Amino acid sequence: AQSVTQLDSQVPVFEEAPVELRCNYSSSVSVYLFWYVQYPNQGLQLLLKYLSGSTLVKGINGFEAEFNKSQTSFHLRKPSVHISDTAEYFCAVSRGGKLIFGQGTELSVKP
């Protein structure tokens, strides 16, 4: 069975600092991985996805993620965050036409 673990429930960071949101998955087969962002009282928006190919994936808003098969990880990074990046971030893995989501990480960017 596939599952997704987001290792931090909350990540506070100062504006312009780098950030990494951690995600580990468990799977015995090829995986498709996603990061979504959710702003308060809104739906989820796709940040980036890994289906195949290059293990470094670039997404919107300056975010990127690296697929690491040996460590079964798909961590999300941004070199310099803005106040507007404050939101909840979800990692997800595809399984049989469905997405399995992690519990979410609240990113709080402080001035």
d(CA 68, CA 38): 24
Nearer to another protein, 71 or 103 (CB): 103
Neighbours of 50 (CB within 10 A): 19
Q: How far is the CB of 15 from another protein (least distance, A)?
A: 26
Smallest gap from residue 63 Cβ to another protein (A): 15
Q: Alpha carbon of 56 to those of 3, 52, 68, 83, 106: distances in Å?
A: 21, 10, 9, 25, 23
Q: Which is nearer to another protein, 3 or 80 (CB)?
A: 3
Query: How far is residue 53's CA from residue 90's CA, in Å, rounded to a whole number?
Result: 22
For 84, phi then psi, to 5°, come to -70, -10
Q: C-beta of 65: minimal distance to another protein in Å?
A: 14
Residues that bind another protein (CB under 8 A): 9, 32, 34, 36, 41-46, 49, 51, 90, 94, 96-99, 101-104
Of 45 and 80, which CB lies nearer to another protein in the complex structure?
45
- Cβ at position 23, least distance to another protein in Å: 12
User: Which phi and psi (to 5°) does residue 60 adopt?
Assistant: -80, 165
Tell me whether residue 15 or residue 38 sits nearer to another protein (CB atom).
38
